[in-house]
Amino acid sequence: MTDGLRAAVASGRLRTGARLPATRLLAGELGVSRGVVVDAYQRLIDEGLAAARTGAGTTIIARPRVRDSASDRRRSLDTLRLPLPPADGIDFDLSPGVPDLSAFPRTAWLRAERAVLDGITAADLGYGDPGGAPWLRAELAGWLARTRGVRAEPDDVIVVGGVAQALALLARTLHAAGRSRVAVEDPGSRGARDQLAHWGVRPEPVPVDAEGLVVGELTQDAAVLTPAHQYPTGVVLSPARRRALLAWATSGDRLIVEDDYDAEHRYDRAPVAALQGSGPDEVAYAGSVSKSLAPGMRLGWLIAPRRLQAELLTAKHDSDLGNPALPQLVLARLLATGDYERHLRTVRGRQRRRRDALIEGLRRHLPDASVTGVAAGLHLMVTVSSDISDISLAERAAGHGVLVHPLSWHRHRPGPPGLILGYAAHPPDRLTEAAKRLGEALSRPGQLSRPGR
């Protein structure tokens, strides 16, 4: 029933602001006990989607954020305790995980699509290979080899509907094999955790420290992680940990799932190569164009150890027969012409300037804060020495019009406070201003409402 209500909210059938029916009434209407309805409402409240006020019943206050493997934007009232101010009080939305959607390469995309449609054959538009268009699989194998050190033949690549679908397919395969205990990072993506749980595997949080996932604590059948730029802390998995992780996998026929969620956004140094290149028989590598083009593309890839590929292809086939053909061919062409690489270069330069503006602003306005996780990605992490929880700090920031994620939202177990700041969607001068506001918010502990409002 909670799922039903949640989906009703997600679909907009229950809109923000809608009052839920009195529990007694709904229980009567559905022919269930009142306790069932009360529990369902409470779960919505726990998830931050609804709020109950004495005398006013239960009201929908937010739509569930669509979850992505490495960009969990959902908020929990049970950890947050107070709802954030409504969005119209927010001047700067620094939620992580959202690329600069205004940078979508419309001209190049359209040019490639015209060329694809000019040359397309009937076979291209028919029922295709469930693993994807051969051209795209070949281009991706080459591209990922060059840029990420991935070792794959074209046939090893399965084209999927984003990393979320890659996780769904892997979870089903693990579950079917009775290998249902899967380690996830803590802090980490709640989206990935929920995705795995939906398909019957048990996600078990394993701590992340300054070297990345604490490999010594792994006892599971598989581990899902973001080694090149941990989500959300930005930590890079250390060389010692990489070696330990691969040894862990080979010593017990365990699977490493590498979510390379922002592989395209590295700034200062050469990127760490993908783990998959060091262990193609141990690592299932997943990536997508969600951060390089747009999440709405729902286009990604999964390169799994060969022993798993047949089952994964069957699962993909029985889910949807395969990804849509046209966007696959357009991406293949963008890769082949170099337009994709050119686009990434442009965006990377822009993101670096944005990151630098935010770092500089924080240095000026929050001089005591420590900023980490800056080598790559679309967000960074700020830690301040404070007795106050990061949730309270985020509330203060919101009171000053800046929406940031407290690290606690992404944690399973308690840990040191932190704030996650996404910078991809804002030009430098706006980020400078956001840093100034943050400085005002966090350096005046007593002040919870925004000046002048």
Footprint on residues 193-222 left by its own copies (CB under 8 A) = 194-195, 198-199
Residue from 313, 366, 420, 442 touching its own copies (CB under 8 A): that is 313
How far is Cα 154 from Cα 140, in angstroms, rounded to an integer? Answer: 7
Stretch that binds its own copies, among 76-84, 192-200, 263-271, 408-416 (CB under 8 A): 192-200
Is there binding between residue 294 and its own copies (CB under 8 A)? yes
Instruction: Give dist(CA 363, CA 365) in Å, integer.
Output: 6
What lies within 8 Å, CB to CB, of 86 at 6+ separation is: none
What is the C-alpha separation between 250 and 351, in angstroms, rounded?
Answer: 38
C-beta closer to its own copies: residue 242 or 354: 354
Of residues 184, 299, 376, 441, which one binds its own copies by CB under 8 A?
299
CA distance 344 to 340: 6
Binding of its own copies by 165 (CB under 8 A): yes
Helix (H, G, I), strand (E, B) or coil at 185: strand
Name the segment binding its own copies (CB under 8 A); options: 46-54, 164-172, 209-217, 251-259: 164-172
Interface positions, 97-156, toward its own copies (CB under 8 A): 98, 101-102, 104, 106, 109-110, 113-114, 117-118, 120, 122, 124-131, 134, 155
Which residue stretches of 19-161 are H helix? Answer: 23-30, 34-46, 77-80, 106-119, 122-125, 134-148
What kind and span of H or E run contains 412? none
Q: Which lies closer to its own copies via its Cβ, residue 67 or residue 396?
A: 67
Residue that the structure tokens 């046209």 belong to: 326
Q: What residues between 244 and 283 interact with its own copies by CB under 8 A? A: none
Return the HEC string of 240-297. Answer: HHHHHHHHHHHHCCCEEEEECCCCCCECCCCCCCCHHHHCCCCEEEEEECCCCCCHHH
Least distance (Å) between residue 104 CB and its own copies: 6
Rounded Cα distance, 351 and 25, in Å:
52
Among 16, 238, 314, 386, binds its own copies (CB under 8 A): 314
For its own copies (CB under 8 A), the number of binding residues is 73
Q: Is 88 in the site for its own copies (CB under 8 A)?
A: no
Per-residue contact string for residues 398-427; x = within reach of its own copies by CB under 8 A:
---------------------------x--
Q: Is 12 in the site for its own copies (CB under 8 A)?
A: yes
x/- mask, its own copies, residues 170-189, rule CB under 8 A, reads --------------------
